[in-house]
Structure 1
């Protein structure tokens, strides 16, 4: 049986060596190829043809003249990604295997057209897949078809112009707490996690960012005191957590800390090594979102509801709440966008723009002033 050995190069890329024993000389043979797809193909052909490389090579050359299928192109696209995280590769592989392969994966890529993609969208909808899932998988298919264009498999990406289900507006999902409502939640929070919960609402950081902050990332003596956000918890291909880069490049940022938060952080920083996580469990480990949600956040919200809270906020709503407080205080949208680590102000405006009635009124007033001197021309006689 032929086998495959994966080798990781110094630059982070991988190569794959296919090993087999020649049926005539019985000597060990090996051939290095660039992608796992090529390696799997060669291994399968060798095993199917008595380990004869000549027959396997002939089959490969014959197949090379054939147009690859949609599934093969998407697989090749995944294999060609430049230094993706193992978690990203795993996600894309799951999308291909679960949502594409058995529906349109068998179609030769040069035969894929608008009708096929529209059929795929309808089938996903019929299966009850969310609009977000359909958009995400369509994004993978479209990116793979762009790769197919580059590789000269097809002349044009057939995904362009396909109508997708409407995504729910971000602001429809966001929930904002008033200062009084947040006070009710924090009142019911376990003492161990009060500083952490206050940090989330006072900085607007994402959960994965806040739980990855180390003691060295915080400077309480600078003016103003700051926290450096430059990493977040990620999941790898084995579903294990590791500290990696922030969600986007814009996510790397330095945020200012208010005096009340500094007072809460002083005991967490004093005398601790810089490499330690700033916020930990009682045993010193990473704060797991599901555990925090189940055992601390939900009980705090339940207590707050018993005291009059009418909302059911999620943990991520603390980030929305933080942004809404900044808006209420008149902080410019661009500043808020940079502070939250958004890639562009468009994202910020989509989620929080409706909270800025003063800005809407200001634009209306500006337009009124710009046209105040405009006098419509009277129509000439006969120009009715």
Structure 2
């Protein structure tokens, strides 16, 4: 508990009020000119477990006329006129679950780098993954950018936050070899073979491939292509609807070879013009969950019992496309692969797949092989016979 002590002059007149408290075994104090100020500080100090810095900041916050972070966040969301309904709901959940509980009532002009660092630790304490923390921090950063734009503050304390890094020791992406994919197909219901082969052969996102209608396929001039202009999205009721693809770069034309075109042709030809080409066996829409539960998971278990050592997701078929393209003869360039996969930036492609570049790997091995030549057959001194050792030291 803190104590409040009136301070008097030599004439016995109260001139100030002192609040005293102990923290970490040490005595501390603060003086105030008026009794209400001292009483307010004492009350807030005790509520802050005798942390004077937090108490002072709470008092400043109570008297600040700067808008609170939660209010700036609402302003920021209103400015995002170009995002999907699903993305808006994602940001709203970030506010409710991760930002407002600890930072929402803080005046935006009082937010410091220390506050942001403490908030990151709070999210780590909740068990959030580094990726989720990075996403939420990015949203907070953009909220404070709006505060700067509105001239509520001059700087952005999120600018230099040190975020936790992923601590996984395995690649997130799984790349299948031809024989591994053949093993999965061997145990997969044949109805789904065209879709699986199409995902591997084009690298389309699952949401893009399952939104295709017959008119998106073309064989003009003997060249087989598919045009990507749409994808499945989450709607405002957490259901699904078809909308534009993930980014403007995702609007693209992807080539198919003749064998792949023949594999999907029966489903394209049998499909009504306004219906999706790839369907479940009973005719319903293909969702990731439905395909995984009814076809992919059973086939994967059977393939693993038959010798498969990996556990690929359906999305890993897209990664497999990239790995086969980079290992081709001739190999795809990173620029071409980025365009074919519909990445917003070549940096995205490079970050995920640069370690698969075969020519770079080969050059690296050859360079180090030349540099280390002669180091592999050196005999240690203890293995050299005494007589030969004497000859060496003579």
Deviation track 1:36-84 (CA, whole Å, cap 9, x = no partner) reads xxxxxxxxxxxxxxxxxxxxxxxxxxx9x93111111112111221242
Partner of 1:333: 334
Shift of 1:339: 0.9
Structure 1 residue 303 corresponds to structure 2 residue 302: yes
In our comparison, the structure showing a higher alpha carbon Rg is 2
Q: Secondary structure at the match of 1:173?
A: coil
SS at match of 1:233: strand
Cross-structure match for 2:256: 257
Give the direction of change, closer, same or farther, for the CA distance of 1:209–1:305 in structure 2 (3 Å limit).
same
- CA distance in structure 2 between the aligned counterparts of 1:251 and 1:170, rounded to whole angstroms: 30
Residues 209 and 188 of structure 1: is their aligned pair in 2 closer, same or farther, counting only changes over 3 Å?
Answer: same
Look up the match of 2:273: 274
Partner of 2:222: 223
**Residue 384 (structure 2) pairs with residue 351 (structure 1):** no
Mean CA deviation greater in 196-205 or 347-356: 347-356
Alignment gaps of 5+ in structure 1: 1-62, 367-384
Query: What is residue 175 of structure 1 aligned with on the other side?
Result: 174
Distance 1:336 1:143, change over 3 A: same
Instruction: Structure 2: give runs of 5+ residues left out of the alignment.
Output: 1-61, 368-394
Aligned residues: 306
State the SS of the aligned residue for 2:254: strand
CA distance in 2, matches of 1:84, 1:271: 35
Cα distance in structure 2, aligned partners of 1:169 and 1:328: 26
Cα RMSD of the aligned pairs, angstroms, is 2.4
Q: Name the SS for the 1:159 alignment partner.
A: coil
8 A Cα contact 1:171 1:350, kept in partner: no
The question of whether the paired residues in 2 share the 8 Å contact of 1:170 and 1:350 is answered with no
Alignment partner of 1:211 is 2:210 = yes
- The answer to whether the 8 Å contact 1:114/1:162 transfers is yes
Give the structure 1 partner of residue 375 of structure 2. none
Superposition pairs of residues 166-205 of structure 1, within 5 angstroms: 166-167=165-166, 172-205=171-204
What CA distance in whole angstroms lies between the structure 2 residues aligned with 1:291 and 1:276? 18
Equivalent pair of 2:327/2:358 in contact (CA under 8 Å): no
Whole-angstrom distance in 1 between the partners of 2:333 and 2:105: 51
Q: Does 1:246 align with 2:245?
A: yes
Shift of 1:249: 1.4
Separation (CA, whole Å) in 2 of partners of 1:138 and 1:290 = 29
Normalised by the size of structure 1, how large is the TM-score?
0.75
TM-score relative to the length of structure 2: 0.73
Q: Distance in 2 between matches of 1:170 and 1:76?
A: 40
Q: In structure 2, do the counterparts of structure 1 residues 354 and 169 end up closer, same or farther at CA, with 3 Å as the change threshold?
A: farther
Alignment of 1:1-384 (within 5 A): 66-167=65-166, 172-270=171-269, 272-329=271-328, 330-362=331-363
Q: Distance in 1 between matches of 2:75 and 2:255?
A: 44
